[in-house]
Amino acid sequence: MMRACMHARMHETSRVRASFSLHSIRSLVVVRPSSFVVRPSVVESNAEKMSSAVRRVVVFGGNGYVGAAISRALVESDAWMTTATGNGTASTSTSMSTPSVAVACASRSGAPPTWARRERWVERVEWVTCDALDAATCETTTRDADAVVTAIGALPMPWMGGEEIARLNGDTNIVPGRAAMINGTTRLVVVGATIPPLVPGLAAYARGKALAETFARDEFACVDEGRSAVVLRPAAVSGTRRVGGGVSLPLSLVMDPARVVLRATGSAAALAHAPVPLDNVARAAARAALDFECETFDRGFSVVSNASLITEDYYNLLKRKPA
């Protein structure tokens, strides 16, 4: 079977056909945004009210800096998700009462980030308690998921050993991905990284990210079995990072001007390592998780480079293939 998958990957023009279904979600620990109380299961009536066209996406690391932005982009995706009709035209779903996307955010706390608890999109998300290194819990969490997004990583700190850094950037993405395979999930999106050259201390970090990407390419992606994987490779991600105590770090104040300067050089190498806006990463991840027929993502394995994340408009410009 592995040989068949490797052979299929050589034909990247093969299209991935995915069937979408949503069943009752059981055995999850959910935090409801209105009360933030841990409850034993997701209310099954919610699933019964949703149509069969609803796509369930699980975001691991969904309360983090990048993960929360991806979760929000997924919730807001009803504004641009389209379904091809028989005459080749497209219709857009914007109904809040019948959403086309069901988003679950998995993290160790099982709670939304403190800074976002009053934001409207949080109410549209199921907040799930899950340790990304616990295979059994990941299997429960990814049950009935059409797509899984892994947005987990840890920057190397002086007090951390190399193996720990590699595990926190590798296994935390691989374990959920493998659980998704077991459950029949057909799309995996991994937030990887573009590692800047000549920066010391990033070897273990780079090794962990490389392990996650290798898993996505060599194990998860398999056209013959209807699975595809997309890896995003952002460099530094520009935005506002919220930390404990309500403190905000406006990284964009430094990174955005740097991106403008690097783009102005016209150098491909400079663009490959320029800071990328957080919204661009989030929208690209959401599009990759939801649009199973977009020509950019319909191959068995795809990589979205940092330059592409900067220059392409994944929210508005990517179009489906003609019906």
Question: What pLDDT digit, counting tens, does each position of 212-226 carry?
Answer: 999 999 999 998 899
User: Where residue 230 sits, what CATH number does that domain have?
Assistant: 3.40.50.720
pLDDT in tens, 35-65: 333 333 333 333 343 345 789 999 999 999 9
The structural domain count of the chain equals 1
Residue 317 in any domain: the answer is no
Beta strands in the chain, from DSSP E residues, in sequence order: 30-31, 38-39, 55-60, 82-84, 90-92, 101-107, 125-129, 147-150, 187-191, 228-232, 237-238, 240-242, 248-250, 276-277, 301-304
What's the mean pLDDT in 196-225? 92
81 touches 102 (CB < 8 A): no
Q: According to the model, what pLDDT value does residue 182 have?
A: 97
For residue 205, being part of any structural domain is answered with yes
Buried b (16+ CB within 10 A) or exposed e, 257-283: ebbeebeeeeeeebbbbbbbbbbbbbb
pLDDT of residue 298: 58
Which of the pair, 53 or 192, is modelled with greater confidence? 192
pLDDT band at residue 201 under the 50/70/90 scheme: confident
Q: How far is residue 230's CA from residue 287's CA, in Å, rounded to a whole number? A: 10
Range of the domain at 238: 2-311
Cα(41)–Cα(63) distance, rounded to whole angstroms? Answer: 20
Report yes or no on 24 lying in a domain.
Answer: yes
Look at residue 67 and tell me whether its pLDDT is greater than 80: yes
Average pLDDT over residues 133-148: 97
Contact between 293 and 88 (Cβ < 8 Å)? no
pLDDT surpassing 60 at residue 146? yes
- Given this model, what pLDDT does residue 203 score? 92
Asked whether the predicted pLDDT for residue 22 surpasses 50, the reply is no
Which pair of tokens denotes residue 186? 């057909």
What are the tens digits of pLDDT across the range 245-259?
678 899 999 999 999
- Positive or negative: CA dihedral 23, 28, 33, 37: positive
**318 lies in a domain?**
no
> Residue 38 is encoded by which pair of tokens?
């841990």
The answer to whether residue 321 is domain-embedded is no
Does the residue 57 lie in any domain? yes
Positive or negative, the Cα torsion across 108, 110, 115, 121?
positive
With a CB cutoff of 8 Å and minimum separation 6, the contacts of 198 are none
The pLDDT of residue 103: 96
* Position 35 in a domain: yes
Taking only the tens place, the pLDDT of each residue in 149-174 is: 999 999 888 899 999 999 999 999 99
Q: How confident is the model at residue 314 (pLDDT cuts 50, 70, 90)?
A: confident
In a domain, 320, yes or no: no
Q: Which of 34-43, 76-85, 91-100 has the lowest mean pLDDT?
A: 34-43
Contact 46, 12 (CB under 8 A): no
- Residue 177, pLDDT > 90, answer yes
Give pTM, 2 decimals.
0.79
Pairing of strands 82-84, 90-92: antiparallel
